[in-house]
Structure 1
Amino acid sequence: MSVMGMVDNAQGSEEEFSFPISFERVYRDYWYKFANEKELYWLKFFLYGIEVERANFNQVRIELQLFKDFLLNGGDFYYLSERKYILSRIELFLEKLDEAESFRDDIVLYIG
């Protein structure tokens, strides 16, 4: 299984918009661990699935950037084995948020 994003209220070609975020095991063992330890909201709920309205995209970006900065700092060896993979998925996630944001103002992503 994996964690991915897709448009929840798709119209037309938006139905084809989806993007992978992480394998479920990696998400649970690394993303969720980080989110839980840092008491983040959004990253924690992506493991179980949650709707994200366009108005909340910036809050998601902030949490992604916190995780990215943490990984780039490299202070915790626990994350080392999956660091490159997670960083690539954070970059993809940020790109896809920008793309989804350009669709329309009432866009809602389901991430889970």
Structure 2
Amino acid sequence: MTTQTIRFFQRNALREVHDVPASRTVLQHLREHDQCTGTKEGCAEGDCGACTVVIGELDAEGQPVLKAVNACIQFMPTLDGRALFTVEDLRAKDGTLHPVQ
């Protein structure tokens, strides 16, 4: 089964993904489709944290709520209407790495 259009904010732009298998993980999409290889696969079970990304959405008052999730067990349809932040988003515009990197 494939999904309908999934819309989410990533890298300062609205992204649209079409006909994605409902079981495709955020990690698979990042590494295979977006070539964002900073998010790693470690245990593939959500235990080690190598695949941690941040998902953002607005609460009832319109305030942003950020949540760290494991991309290896987060399915693509859960991104619809949200924002996705990865380790690549920490790099400064001049290319300087963030201390976390």
**Length-normalised TM-score, structure 2:** 0.30
Using CA pairs under 8 Å that are at least 6 residues apart, name the structure with larger relative contact order, 1 or 2.
Answer: 1
Q: TM-score scaled to structure 1, two decimals?
A: 0.28
More helix by share: 1
